[in-house]
Each structure stands twice: as structure tokens, then as C-alpha cells.
Structure 1
């Protein structure tokens, strides 16, 4: 009887730990990091089709850029297309990347990142941001549902 009670207690504690926000299951964290790695590679290659595939295809997709909201998947893709005409590259500090599972199938990603941004023909200057993204799992794939970069001072 005591052994069974301990098993039930252990199962209860394990269940509570797995259900807590902030506790990321290894598989989810690895999948989110892999998606972000693909996102950075696609951004740096100016691969619009790959970026398009990684964003949630929704009118509720949100990207805040230069203090302005960009709503919707299609609007975001048009904005990326325009930005890709100039210099646009990302350099995240991957060793500082954090993934927080908000609930099963919903995660927030945080990483300090340096952007090199400039219109075509101009010299790009580095801009440091604290990148935040919210990702949702749709079926068996993660998708980015919001991109929220926060400007940060240069170190």
C-alpha cells in the first residue's frame, strides 16, 4: 500500500511539473530551435518561399517592425520582400536563446540578435534587438505566429 501511494505521488508530481508553464519538453525545445535556425538561414539567404513556409498562414500573424504592426501573413511576406532588396541579415546569439513553453503547442522564443539593415545602395549599420517570437504547433509542424523585436542598446 505504501509503495502504491508513493507511485501515485511520484506520478502526480511528474504530471504537475510537465504541465507547468516554463517547463519545456526536450522535443518541443529542439523543434522550436530547429525552426528558428531555419528562419535565420532563410532570412540571411533572402529565401522568401522558405520564410513564407515558416510563418503561420493567418490574418492574425503579427510582426512589430520599427514601432509599426504588420498584421497578416501576406502583408508580412510583402514587407520581407521589400526589405530583401537592400541589406538584411540576422546574427543571433544562439548560446543565449531561450524557449519557454507557454502551454502544450505554444512556445515563446527569446534571443539577443544583431540585424544588419539598410536600403539598397546604403551601408548597413548593426542594430541590436531582443528578439521575441511566439510559435504554435499546427499539426506536426511549428509555425511562427508573432515576431516582436525590442530595440536594445549596443553592449
Structure 2
């Protein structure tokens, strides 16, 4: 159950920062910019468990390095990540955690090919870090 007092500690400015973080990720994915992906994912302080993961129906990647490597692989082909900006929702879960929900069109294909576009309900979790808000988990759910 959400503690409403804690959930309310995420301000309107936090919500906007989280939304901007997600849109920066989307732009970085479409541009195949691995440095942007690295910049939006949470970093793990020394001695702490790595909170970054990417769980999809076909695969699971545990840890920041594995997620970055996954993006390197998909960026070798056709890859576009296009969220429906008006439908993005940022839902506070606590003072330092938020759920991002975004219906998104993802186009995938082999290098040099046009690719095929699929609809997903992308769910991500953002956490407050020393560097600001960062993405911890990515869970795309097919919308078809």
C-alpha cells in the first residue's frame, strides 16, 4: 500500500524531471546513442546491489552493464522508440521511486532494413540517486 505522505514527497518538479528523463531516453534510443542510455540508467554505489534490469517476454538482463550491452546489440539494426507523449504517466510510489507508464511504438529490424513496428505498454521505474532521477527497471509489455 502506498503511504500517501511519502508519495506526496515527489514534487511536480520531480514528476517533470522524471518525464524529461524518459523522453531523453526515448530520443537516445532512436538516435542509437549509447552514451545517452548510460546517462539515464542508475549507477550503483560501490558495495551496493545493482538495481538496473530489463525484463521482457523474450529475455531478461540483470545489471547496468548487461542492459547497456543489450542496447548496443539492438542499435546495430533498425531501432526506433516512439512513446505517445500525451499518454505518458508518472506515478509516485514513494519519496524516491516512481513508475513511468508509456504506450510506445517500437520499430525493430535488421541493419539496413525498414523494420517492423510493434505497440508496447512500456513500464519503467525511476529512482532518486545522488545524480538525480535515473531509470532502474524497464519492462515493456506487448500491447497486441
Common fold, TM-score beyond 0.5?
yes
**Counterparts of 2:15 and 2:39, CA distance in 1:** 19
Residue deviations 1:102-133 (CA, integer Å, cap 9, x gap):
00111000010000111214331111000100
Task: List structure 1 segments (4+ residues) > 3 angstroms apart after TM superposition.
Answer: 20-24
Counterpart of 1:150 (choices 134, 141, 144) is 141
Larger RCO, structures 1/2 (Cα 8 Å, 6+ apart): 2
Aligned twin of 1:43? 29
Q: Alignment RMSD, CA only?
A: 1.9
Unaligned runs of 5+ in 1: 1-15
Residue deviations 1:70-96 (CA, integer Å, cap 9, x gap):
001001111100110101111111101
Scaled by the length of structure 1, the TM-score of the pair is 0.81
Aligned twin of 2:95? 104
Larger fraction in helix:
1
Aligned twin of 1:10? none
**Counterparts of 1:33 and 1:90, CA distance in 2:** 15
**Counterparts of 1:152 and 1:38, CA distance in 2:** 23
- The answer to whether residue 75 in structure 2 is matched with residue 89 in structure 1 is no
Counterpart of 1:34 (choices 5, 8, 20) is 20
Unaligned runs of 5+ in 2: 45-49
**Counterparts of 1:88 and 1:22, CA distance in 2:** 36
Aligned twin of 1:122? 113
Shift of 1:67: 2.7
